[in-house]
Every structure is written in structure tokens, then in C-alpha cells.
Amino acid sequence: VRFGDQELARGQGGEVHQVAGGDTPVLTTNLGTPVSDDQNSLRAGARGPSLLEDFHFREKIFHFDHERIPERVVHARGMGAHGYFESYDSLSDITRADLFQRKGEKTEVFVRFSTVAGNKGSADLPRDVRGFAVKFYTKEGNWDLVGNNMPVFFIQDAIKFPDLIHAAKQEPDRGFPQAQTAHDNFWDFISLTPESMHMIMWAMSDRAIPRSLRFMEGFGVHTFRFVNAEGKSTFVKFHWKPRLGMQSVVWNEALKINGADPDFHRRDLWDAIQTGDYPEWELGLQLFDQDFADKFGFDVLDPTKIIPEEEVPVRRVGRLVLDRVVDNFFAETEQVAFCTQNTVPGIDFTDDPLLQGRNFSYLDTQLKRLGSPNFHEIPVNQPRGCPFHNFQRDGHMRMTVNRGRANYQPNSWGQGPRECPERGFTTHPARVEGEKVRLRPESFADHYSQARQFYISQTEIEQGHIAAALTFELSKVETPAIRTRMVSHLRNIDEGLAKKVAQSLRLELPEPAPAAMPTRMDLQKSPALSIILNG
């Protein structure tokens, strides 16, 4: 039968079939057996019960039943694309990382942008942080720069991450709200976590509702280390600067966009790349040494602090271009596995306690999410710039067929790869010593100065947006004590802001929060803090 542009066949019961022929291949089972009929299950008589021997039906349903994998525990909603990174200069004086050795060198990349708190099916424009994760397929291994669109973070120690995320995700009894907006648990946790105040200023600013993914900055957040061929270490902060500049929407627009097109950011990125309008960012570095770190007023290991660009200017060292959409969302965007520990010779960690915790967390969660220790064999995760060889073997879904007798070394069969002291990754021998303690350093104790600096760096209109965002969010908080605690923090950031928010919420101005992070001793001694804690 001809139906519009389709040539269809009819089955005995009158149902339509599209049949193979010409360029159209034959439908088969997963093991290649050709299928004659994909419209009807095998039954005992046309109106009879289904038969267990229908292997095609069982395989098809079995596979479908297992299609979903767990969504990411955070950053579940994301959008990925392929592209390249091009170095402007050789940085061999500061790092031996291969991708930075040659001017003009191009390195393949895969980038995934994400929201943090919402589930996989949530909308693109909640007031939230955005993930900005880049996988560089370098000639000496994959390097992942797993960043955000804000340069600081809510907490100083990874041990608080489960609490932060539990508080930010939907509340456990009622299952809402889905995103980090307007709820008691989130603001309860934040109001009891003074170290989050700097990040809260960013998260309540226009940066949390970007116009599109193409108009966002990105940051590696932590202080990392570059190490050159002579073993000299330089501290580095990573920045991504969008070629299009930075733009945001206002809250009113964000709400409408979420309603009209929850895929607004996804669609924008897809359309831009498909029409050849390739999004571009420049990679910027802030480079400094131990002397600067010792003199700087804040601890460079504290991820709630920035290094002002006026003090250490950002040096632009290359550009990132996204020029290819994915072929398959699941295979690439869902299955990609970024990890702060994926690093290469020449790029090393510092003792930032948030970074140290992240280094454990990603690999661990990905084993659960992707289901097998062999997830590095999924094409999007495999190294592309270099081969990989080791003696790790077997496990669920192993794809590589390892040959030979030796699955260990040293071996006397001359089989398999060997270590390479000259080219291999070596950890920078930073000196460490100390007692085993659970103790926040005093140098991490100032939670308000940089929050204030950020607030006063904003234009009047932007400051108005921050006040409006805080008012809107806190007005949805039902527990009065939480609102009061938040305003008492604001008093340490900016008196004008605190007054504006208090007035809009019809609150009396509370005492300012105690300024320094209290130690356990202070907690017992301080009546002021117990007032704050008890509202």
C-alpha cells in the first residue's frame, strides 16, 4: 500500500509493516537472526496467550526494561558537545603537560554543561550553579577540568558535600522542589553554614540564570599545580571566558522560559553548533607562587575564596571551540564520566580539602552509575590522543580482548607494558607534616569579606537583582527562624542589602551573625551563637 511518502505492506490482520529492501537493512535480533515480523508477538492462535519461546519478543522487552541507568547523583541534567582546544603559546616554562607544549596544537575535547540540583528531566533555567566539565583527550592521557560557572563553592570540606546536596535536592518526605530554589531545607543548611555566604552571593546573582550556555564563564575553582620538566611547581587557577561575553536573563524571563521551553539551553547549544555558529571560550590562567600564597590575605587552599583578577591578572592561553553535536545523547552525554583525578603529567593537585574529597568521589559514583569498572572503554571515555596499556583485566562488560600469557608484571615473558620514569606522571613532592586532626585551619575562617567584595563589585541593577532573589527565595521559606538567620548573615556582608531584604520580608533586623567561624570550644561558650543556632 502507498501511504504519502511511505511504501507499506499489510499483515494478515490488516496492520502495517515497513519491510526491508533496497538500502534498508534487515531487522535482526542482537545476535543477528533476521526478524520476519516486529508487529506481532508469537501466540497460540491469533487471540490466544503469548508463547514463552518468542525469543525476539523476550529480547526486545528485556533490553527495554534495562534501558535506564541511575542519573547522576548531582548534575543530572546536562548537555554535551565535541570540539577542540587550541593552544596560543608554548607553556613549557611552567608545565610539562603535553597539550600546552606547542603553539597552535589542537587537542580534541568533550564538554558537558549541567545544572546541579535538578533531576534529569528538570528545566534548564532554575536559579542554580551550572557545571562546566571539559575532557581533554591529550597525547599523554585524558585530562578532565571539572568546573562550574562560579569560581567558588558552598563548602570548604568534602565531608559536607552529602549534607549540602541532601539539603539542595527535593525534600525527602514530599519529593519537591526539584531544583535548588525556594525551600526550607536548603536555606536551613545554608543559614547554619556561614562558609557558604560568598557562594550564596554568586548563586543569588544573575550568574545563576545564564541566557544560554554560550554566555557563561567557567572556573576550575580549586587551586591546582602546574609542574614543569625541571619539577618546578606553579599554582594555577583555571578560567573559561566566553567569546560572546557574559549574559543572563532576569528571573521573570527565566520563569517564562522554563514554562514555554524547558529545553531552552539544550536547544540553543544544539542549534548554534548545527548552524555553524560554534561557541567559543578562551582558557585563562591565574599563575602564582608560594610567596604570593603566603602573602595573600586568604588561604589559596580554601575553595570559598577567589584570587582577585586585579591582583593576579588572567593570562589567556588558548581557545575552546565546540563544533560537533553528539551522535547519540545516551552514548555520549549520559555515559561520559568526568573525574578530577583524571590528570596528566604536568598538572597536579593541591591540598584543598574539597578537591581531595572530589578525587575520591567521582570514580566511586561512576562505578555505581555506569555499572562496571570497565567504563573507561565506553568510546566517549577512552583516551583518543594515545593508546592505553596495563594489566587490569576482566570485570563486567570487558570489551578489550587481552592477548598473551602475562597478566602481571614483572614477568619474564617479555609481555605487556612497563613503567616509564622519564615520561610517567610523578606527584610533586610537596612537603607535608602534622598531627592527625579534624580541624578547620584558622586561615579558612573569614566567610564574609569576599562575599562583601563580590556584592559591592556589582552594579546597582545587579545588586537589586541579588536583593530581589534573596527576598523571593526567603519569602518561600516557611520557618521564620531560617529567614532571620539569613538576614543576620547579610548584616555581615552589606548593611544596605540586609535592610532591604529584612524590609521586604517584614522582619526586624536581627543581630549580625558571629563573624568568625566558631571552633567547637566557642560553640559551647558563645551565647550569641546559640541564639543564631536556635533562631
Angle at 145 between CA 142 and CA 151, to 5 degrees: 175
Told to check if 148 binds ligand HEM by CB under 6 A, we report yes
Residue 287 CA: distances (Å) to CA of 229, 309, 350, 413, 449: 17, 11, 14, 47, 23
Q: What distance lies between CA 330 and its chain's CA centroid? A: 17
Told to check if 366 binds ligand HEM by CB under 6 A, we report yes
Q: How far is the CB of 385 from ligand HEM (least distance, A)?
A: 20
Q: How far apart are CA 390 and CA 383, in angstroms?
A: 13
Q: Would the CA dihedral through 193, 195, 199, 205 be positive or negative?
A: positive
Told to check if 207 binds ligand HEM by CB under 6 A, we report no
Q: How far is the CB of 71 from ligand HEM (least distance, A)?
A: 8
Told to check if 303 binds ligand HEM by CB under 6 A, we report yes
Answer yes or no: 75 catalytic. yes
Q: How far apart are CA 60 and CA 40, in angstroms?
A: 12
Told to check if 73 binds ligand HEM by CB under 6 A, we report yes
Task: Give 357 or 383: the residue with its C-beta nearer to ligand HEM.
Answer: 357
Q: How far is the CB of 393 from ligand HEM (least distance, A)?
A: 24
Task: Give 85 or 153: the residue with its C-beta nearer to ligand HEM.
Answer: 153
Cβ 156 vs Cβ 354: under 8 Å: yes
- How many residues bind ligand HEM, per CB under 6 A? 28
Q: How far is the CB of 447 from ligand HEM (least distance, A)?
A: 16
Cell 538500502 locates to 23
Q: Which residues are within 8 A (CB) of 524 and not within 5 positions of it... i.e. 6 or more apart?
A: none
Told to check if 376 binds ligand HEM by CB under 6 A, we report no
Nearest alpha-carbon partner for 182 in 483, 465, 472: 472
Cβ 185 vs Cβ 193: under 8 Å: no
Told to check if 264 binds ligand HEM by CB under 6 A, we report no
Out of 56, 72, 305, 319, name the contact with ligand HEM by CB under 6 A. 72
Q: Which residues are within 8 A (CB) of 434 and not within 5 positions of it... i.e. 6 or more apart?
A: none
DSSP string, 323-357: EEE-S-IIIIIIT----TT---TTEE----HHHHH
Which one of 56, 82, 142, 148 is the catalytic residue?
148
Told to check if 329 binds ligand HEM by CB under 6 A, we report no
Out of 87, 95, 114, 234, name the contact with ligand HEM by CB under 6 A. 114
Answer yes or no: 148 catalytic. yes
Task: Give 134 or 502: the residue with its C-beta nearer to ligand HEM.
Answer: 134
Q: How far apart are CA 366 and CA 337, in angstroms?
A: 7
Told to check if 143 binds ligand HEM by CB under 6 A, we report no
Told to check if 107 binds ligand HEM by CB under 6 A, we report no
The answer to whether 112 is annotated as binding is yes
Nearest alpha-carbon partner for 428 in 145, 140, 227, 141: 227
Helix boundaries (H) for 66-115: none
Told to check if 356 binds ligand HEM by CB under 6 A, we report no
Please state whether beta strands 141-148 and 130-138 pair in parallel, antiparallel, or not at all (unpaired): antiparallel
Told to check if 74 binds ligand HEM by CB under 6 A, we report yes
Q: How far apart are CA 24 and CA 374, in angstroms?
A: 34
Told to check if 127 binds ligand HEM by CB under 6 A, we report no
Out of 211, 358, 483, 500, name the contact with ligand HEM by CB under 6 A. 358
Told to check if 151 binds ligand HEM by CB under 6 A, we report no
Task: Give 87 or 114: the residue with its C-beta nearer to ligand HEM.
Answer: 114
DSSP string, 264-295: HHHHHHHHHHHTT---EEEEEEEEE-HHHHHH
Task: Give 75 or 491: the residue with its C-beta nearer to ligand HEM.
Answer: 75
Region near ligand HEM per CB under 6 A, out of 68-76, 96-104, 424-432, 469-477: 68-76
Residues between 219 and 248 that touch ligand HEM (CB under 6 A): 221
The answer to whether 72 is annotated as binding is yes
List residues forming the annotated binding site for heme.
72, 112, 161, 358, 362, 369
Binding site for ligand HEM (CB under 6 A): 72-75, 78, 112, 114, 131, 133, 146-148, 153, 158, 161, 221, 303, 336-338, 354, 357-358, 361-362, 365-366, 369
